[in-house]
């Protein structure tokens, strides 16, 4: 025996239409399949709820139910019209074509010509271009507004008429009885695509669609500081919409070519500087390649292998804000591998003169290159 409909809705027998509707919406929201995935109990409760509302929202059925109860309805031929549906999701699908909460409970339906699809194109930059940002000419295949009819789909010189199907409103309405009472659905007209107007003679070039596919050359700006794998959205530069609908967006998929001289860590760069062991011992000023030229770097006498020096502001600009990264220079001490007789003799004499003061304590030698780099980034 089904439960009492008033009990199901949690309202009194004197409840008005408004109160019944409110109670139903509140409970339906709680039991919606998006909220209660794979909960059979919730599905059963929703079906019960839908049936209760189906009856109590209809004055005639309600009075039959009030007088004769469930039996009276059944003998009067009432069948809940969703009885054959397997799940709540199916019921929502039947009434609302999709059944998401937004469209059922107050979300507006979209009308007007459809927006065009998004496009995507890959753009490859060098690290130097990342430093400055770049304006780039690209070729991309896009649908564009038809050059003959300018998007209205009519053969030039022929009239555009009011769409007979929607009578110029661009919208079609379907009215149905449902558990939610009288339900009006609005959707874009399928004859004119939501335009309200239709071509008497379709454009020969585009077949009346209003757009054509072609390779376009575009100039696009890629912002400085961008990283490999990031996307840039160019609003409204994608495919043209149907019949004058707004265009979609164009996405640039950014690839940054690796530069063998530099390793990137966010906005910072790391490079290696080869330093002859004599320069390391005596001190020297050496040129360092940066992204935009050459800088002189002063090395103090006795600088140790894998020392990291920082050239401030010679990294990459941040994508947002004014920050600029640094260039970290890792000292790579070169040890000679081939000595002639004279060099060998000089080094032997040097070795003989070396004493306990010549070499530094072994402090920090346990600290590897990567520890030093990590410390450098911390500073
Ligand atoms: Zn055309
Ligand atoms: Zn129409």
pLDDT digits (tens, 9 = 90+) for 226-263: 999 998 989 989 998 876 678 889 999 999 999 999 99
CB 274 within 8 A of CB 334: yes
Q: Per-residue confidence at 95, pLDDT binned at 50, 70, 90? A: very low
CA 244 – CA 262 distance, rounded (Å) = 48
- How far away, in angstroms, is 150 Cα from ligand 1 center? 6
Average pLDDT over residues 262-282: 95
The listed range with the strongest mean pLDDT (203-207, 220-224, 286-290) is 286-290
CA 254 – CA 123 distance, rounded (Å) = 5
Burial of 169 (0-12, 13-18, 19+ CB in 10 A): middle
Q: Which ligand sits nearest to residue 144's alpha carbon?
A: 1
pLDDT digits (tens, 9 = 90+) for 45-69: 877 888 888 889 888 889 888 988 8
User: Given this model, what pLDDT does residue 191 score?
Assistant: 83
pLDDT digits (tens, 9 = 90+) for 356-370: 788 866 555 555 666
User: Given this model, what pLDDT does residue 85 score?
Assistant: 46
Helices of type H across 76-188 = 88-96, 101-104, 127-132
Q: Which ligand sits nearest to residue 172's alpha carbon?
A: 2
- How far away, in angstroms, is 112 Cα from ligand 1 center? 19
Positive or negative, the CA dihedral 89, 93, 98, 99 is negative
CA 211 – CA 205 distance, rounded (Å) = 9
User: Given this model, what pLDDT does residue 70 score?
Assistant: 84
Strand-pairing partners, residue 292, are none
- How far away, in angstroms, is 171 Cα from ligand 2 center? 7
- How far away, in angstroms, is 190 Cα from ligand 2 center? 6
- How far away, in angstroms, is 168 Cα from ligand 2 center? 6
Residues in contact with 319: Cβ distance below 8 Å, sequence separation at least 6, in sequence order: 223, 224, 225, 226, 227
- How far away, in angstroms, is 99 Cα from ligand 2 center? 25
- How far away, in angstroms, is 146 Cα from ligand 1 center? 5
- Least reliable range by pLDDT among 89-98, 108-117, 147-156, 177-186: 89-98
The listed range with the strongest mean pLDDT (58-72, 87-101, 295-309) is 295-309
- How far away, in angstroms, is 198 Cα from ligand 2 center? 7
- How far away, in angstroms, is 206 Cα from ligand 1 center? 4
Q: Which ligand sits nearest to residue 168's alpha carbon?
A: 2
- How far away, in angstroms, is 142 Cα from ligand 2 center? 26
User: Given this model, what pLDDT does residue 108 score?
Assistant: 35
- Least reliable range by pLDDT among 128-142, 173-187, 289-303: 173-187
- Least reliable range by pLDDT among 96-105, 175-184, 294-303: 96-105
Tell me: pLDDT of 98 over 50.
no
User: Given this model, what pLDDT does residue 92 score?
Assistant: 55
Rounded to the nearest 5°, which phi and psi values hold at 316? -105, 150
pLDDT, the chain, mean = 82
- How far away, in angstroms, is 156 Cα from ligand 1 center? 8
User: Given this model, what pLDDT does residue 276 score?
Assistant: 97
- How far away, in angstroms, is 199 Cα from ligand 1 center? 10
Tell me: pLDDT of 17 over 70.
yes
Tell me: pLDDT of 209 over 90.
no
pLDDT digits (tens, 9 = 90+) for 319-330: 888 899 999 999
User: Given this model, what pLDDT does residue 96 score?
Assistant: 46
- How far away, in angstroms, is 173 Cα from ligand 1 center? 29
- How far away, in angstroms, is 14 Cα from ligand 1 center? 62
Report every protein residue that has its C-beta within 5 angstroms of ion ligand 1. 146, 148-149, 203, 205-206
The better pLDDT of the pair 102, 151 is held by 151
- How far away, in angstroms, is 187 Cα from ligand 1 center? 25
- Least reliable range by pLDDT among 94-108, 176-190, 290-304: 94-108
């Amino acid at each position: 025996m089904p439960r009492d409909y008033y009990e199901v809705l949690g309202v009194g027998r004197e409840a008005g239409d408004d109160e019944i509707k409110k109670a139903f919406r509140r409970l339906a929201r709680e039991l919606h399949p998006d909220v209660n995935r794979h909960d059979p109990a919730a599905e059963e409760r929703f079906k019960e709820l839908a049936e209760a509302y189906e009856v109590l929202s209809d004055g005639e059925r309600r009075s039959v139910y009030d007088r004769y109860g469930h039996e009276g309805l059944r003998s009067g031929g009432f069948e809940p019209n969703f009885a054959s549906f397997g799940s709540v999701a199916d019921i929502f699908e039947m009434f609302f074509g999709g059944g998401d909460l937004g469209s059922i409970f107050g979300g507006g339906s979209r009308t007007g010509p459809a927006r065009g699809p998004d496009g995507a194109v890959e753009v490859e930059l060098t690290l130097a271009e990342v430093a400055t940002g770049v304006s780039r000419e690209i070729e991309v295949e896009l649908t564009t507004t038809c050059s003959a009819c300018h998007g209205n789909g009519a053969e030039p010189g022929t009239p555009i008429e009011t769409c007979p199907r929607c009578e110029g409103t661009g919208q079609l309405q379907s009215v149905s009885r449902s558990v939610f009472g009288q339900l009006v659905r609005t959707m874009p007209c399928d004859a004119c695509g939501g335009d309200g107007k239709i071509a008497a003679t379709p454009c020969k070039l585009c077949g009346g669609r209003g757009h054509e596919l072609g390779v376009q050359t575009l100039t696009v700006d890629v912002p400085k500081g961008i990283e490999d794998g990031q996307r840039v959205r160019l609003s409204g530069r994608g495919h043209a919409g149907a019949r004058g609908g707004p265009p979609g967006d164009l996405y640039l998929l950014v690839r940054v070519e690796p530069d063998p001289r530099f390793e990137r860590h966010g906005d910072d760069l790391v490079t290696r500087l080869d330093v002859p062991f004599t320069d390391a011992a005596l001190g020297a000023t050496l040129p360092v390649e940066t992204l935009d030229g050459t800088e002189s770097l002063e090395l103090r006498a006795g600088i140790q292998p894998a020392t990291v020096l920082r050239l401030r502001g010679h990294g990459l600009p941040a994508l947002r804000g004014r920050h600029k990264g640094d260039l970290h220079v890792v000292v790579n001490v070169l040890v000679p591998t081939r000595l002639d007789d004279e060099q060998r003799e000089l080094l032997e004499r040097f070795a003989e003169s070396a004493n306990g003061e010549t070499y530094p304590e072994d402090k920090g030698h346990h600290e590897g290159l990567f520890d030093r780099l990590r410390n450098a980034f911390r500073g």
